[in-house]
Amino acid sequence: MIRPADQPVVFFGCPLDCDEKYDAIEEKHAQPAPEPGGDDPLLGMVQCLARRVPENEWEFRGSIEVPGWLRPIPPEAERGSVVVDDMVAFIDGGGCKTYADRVADAVRSEILPGFPFLVTVEHSLTGGVYRALADHYGRDKLSLVVLDSHTDAIPMSRLAGAIFYDIDTNPGSVYDASDPFLHDRAESYNASTFLHHMVAEGLLDPRDLYLLGVSDYPEKKVFRIKDRRIADYVSAFAGLRKEGATIVTKKECQLKPAKVNSLLRKIRTPYVYLSVDMDIGARNALDGVRFRNWQGLSEKQIYRLADSIAAAGGRDLQLVGMDITEINPRTAGMDDGSQVDRTYEIAANLGGRLVFDRPCL
């Protein structure tokens, strides 16, 4: 898989962070106000990339504007709006889809026919870049390869049902039944559902979807639970596979690299868009990401997976866009006294390897 040599690589961002969970809200309130742009992961990523890829090999377009209260570190004057209810209202009201559409418009008007490289927090913005590329190259000619610890294709109601089952049956459940995140949620387009919506609306053929490194795929014993809530939950995963999606678990990536290589060779389209959710290495290779509920791959394993992707399809398969998502600028690159977080360094290594054919450092 190679990037077309005549395409300029254009880096751009959109620092949307609408995480509605209580811990994330508290973390935002506790942060000191940053320097202008200091909470935009695009800057941290390209600063690292510039140390290994000359700046004359890429362009920097800047970020789509986001209101202060929706940024990773809101300004003091807007923190009154940074509450769970307002974040829930934004997500359930279609806010993530609105910004994904803005991303699509930016790619169409400012980047194409160049190579879009999005760096962001909110993973659902991937859908915006993919939509613009699908319109440009043809929906039947573009596959989506995703590196992620989460499947991101489970409707909100089915996820909530599974959580309520855990609350009802597990005395040690970590969930709180009073959490507003769980009640009366709309089936909105967001970071945990966007792939479901892309498939449901016909934007993405599931046969052209490759999910690599997934940790949340249910174990076999879960499929045998008779409770309707769990049956609905696992059917979302099973249905995705039945429709033709390729799902490779974290364990398979670790233990069966040859299987990964074999599956990637089956990509049937001439073009690929690659999306990397940096929680693919959470609590193992790195910590500067929004969601850390699953332990991801080691740094070495991430690079091995990147090598498999780079080798897929040889020179006949073209990589026409990429993103790095779910970086948490409040913790990425932080020094805790014993080590410095490597989220930005690993992100830059992946971009360098897959887009510029530079070895990972």
Averaged pLDDT for residues 284-292? 95
Q: Is residue 212 part of a domain?
A: yes
**How much of the chain is helix, strand and coil, in % rounded to 5?**
45, 15, 40
Task: Give the pairing type, strands 271-277 and 246-249.
Answer: unpaired
Tell me if 360 sits within 8 A of 303, measured CB to CB: yes
pLDDT value of position 36: 82
Q: Is residue 345 part of a domain?
A: yes
Domain housing 185 = 9-356
53-105 tens-digit pLDDT: 999 999 999 999 999 999 999 999 999 999 999 999 999 999 999 999 999 99
Question: What CA–CA distance (Å, rounded) separates 249 from 211?
Answer: 8
Averaged pLDDT for residues 102-120? 98
Q: Is residue 243 part of a domain?
A: yes
Q: Read off the CATH number of the domain in which 122 is found.
A: 3.40.800.10
Q: Is residue 361 part of a domain?
A: no
pLDDT value of position 183: 81
251-277 tens-digit pLDDT: 999 999 999 999 999 999 999 999 999
pLDDT value of position 314: 86
Averaged pLDDT for residues 191-210? 97
pLDDT value of position 182: 80
Asked if pLDDT for residue 359 goes beyond 90, the answer is: no
| Percentage, residues of the chain above pLDDT 90 | 89
CA distances, 275 to each of 19, 124, 196 (Å) = 19, 10, 15
Which of 81-85, 196-200, 202-206 is predicted with the least confidence, judged by mean pLDDT?
Answer: 81-85
**In the sheet where 142-147 sits, what is the strand order?**
58-63, 9-14, 115-120, 318-325, 271-277, 142-147, 209-214, 246-249
Task: Give the pairing type, strands 209-214 and 115-120.
Answer: unpaired
Q: Is residue 108 part of a domain?
A: yes
pLDDT value of position 285: 96
H-state helical runs in 93-244: 95-106, 126-137, 156-169, 194-200, 220-223, 228-242
SS3 152: coil
Total domains present in the chain: 1
Average pLDDT of every residue of the chain = 95
Q: Is residue 3 part of a domain?
A: no
Which of 178-187, 238-247, 248-257, 273-282 is predicted with the least confidence, judged by mean pLDDT?
Answer: 178-187
The pLDDT confidence band at residue 33, using thresholds 50, 70 and 90, is confident
pTM (predicted TM-score): 0.96
Question: What CA–CA distance (Å, rounded) separates 205 from 198?
Answer: 8
Q: Which two tokens stand for residue 349?
A: 């290594």
Q: Is residue 72 part of a domain?
A: yes
Averaged pLDDT for residues 22-39? 91
The pLDDT confidence band at residue 134, using thresholds 50, 70 and 90, is very high
CA distances, 88 to each of 12, 24, 93, 124, 185 (Å) = 26, 13, 8, 15, 8
Question: What CA–CA distance (Å, rounded) separates 350 from 276?
Answer: 9
Determine the longest span between alpha carbons in the chain, in angstroms: 59
Question: What CA–CA distance (Å, rounded) separates 166 from 148?
Answer: 24
Averaged pLDDT for residues 136-148? 98
